[in-house]
Amino acid sequence: MQNMYTRLQSTSEFDPQSIYFFQQMAVLDYFLGNLDGHGGNCLVKNGKGGHLIEDLRKIDNANTFITHNPLSQKWIPDSKQYEWHSLEIAKEPFSAEVKEIMQKIVPEEINSAIEKINIAAPGFLNDNMIDLLMQRGEVLYAASQIQHYTPNELGSLRTHDQIIQFFHKNKCHKWKISDETHASRTGDFNLIDDYEPRPTSHDEASGQEEL
């Protein structure tokens, strides 16, 4: 298997199978908020019979389940988040098959996954991790409703302000949350309108200034 970027940067023509593998990876990587999504952490197996990619594997996912969104696009520690969005293949609109996957990312399913994680690793998830997981889940659900939306556009939604602007523009595509789901984790908390980044220390904030 080889570095995904090495493989995908060599062409501008992509077959449906390769697009499907790439878009599946992009959806998962975005949902987890991966801060270390550079090409070396995504390996591909060369395809046969006209397929560019036969298989795609993500490795080194230690920088997922983040506790805050980047405060700046240029903040150095987060600069590799969703780095795949700059590839040419990321400009291909999400396929109908991948949109079906994105439309299944709803509060009930996320809460079910959270319960399983809490059983397997008690205390691992904190409130900020869960709130941002929900926020990114709603981004993916909304993006699946938008015609011709691409991984390139999705991967550009990184900072708090960018995500809020996305939802203000696409309010009609937000989750239709039941009263029961609302009460299960966040009560009356609205993840899009009410979420604010966690308090940041002076030293940490100074490191996030734009260069």
pLDDT bucket at 188, cuts 50 / 70 / 90: very low
Q: What is the pLDDT of residue 199?
A: 38
Dist. CA 155–CA 143, nearest whole Å: 11
Q: What is the pLDDT of residue 153?
A: 97
Dist. CA 132–CA 47, nearest whole Å: 35
Indicate whether 101 pLDDT > 80. Answer: yes
Q: What is the pLDDT of residue 75?
A: 54
What is the residue whose two structure tokens read 């299944």?
104
Q: What is the pLDDT of residue 49?
A: 72
Dist. CA 166–CA 161, nearest whole Å: 9
Per-chain mean pLDDT for the chain: 78
Indicate whether 182 pLDDT > 80. Answer: no
pLDDT bucket at 109, cuts 50 / 70 / 90: very high
Query: Is residue 174 within 8 Å of 138, Cβ to Cβ?
Result: yes
Residues 116-126, mean pLDDT to the nearest whole number: 96
Q: Mind giving me the DSSP string for 165-184?
A: HHHHH-GGGS----HHHHHH
pTM of the model: 0.78
Indicate whether 201 pLDDT > 50. Answer: no
pLDDT of 36-95, one tens digit each? 876 677 777 777 776 787 778 777 778 889 888 887 655 555 568 898 898 899 999 999
Comparing 211 with 182, the larger pLDDT belongs to: 182
Q: What is the pLDDT of residue 141?
A: 95
Domain ranges of the chain: 2-196
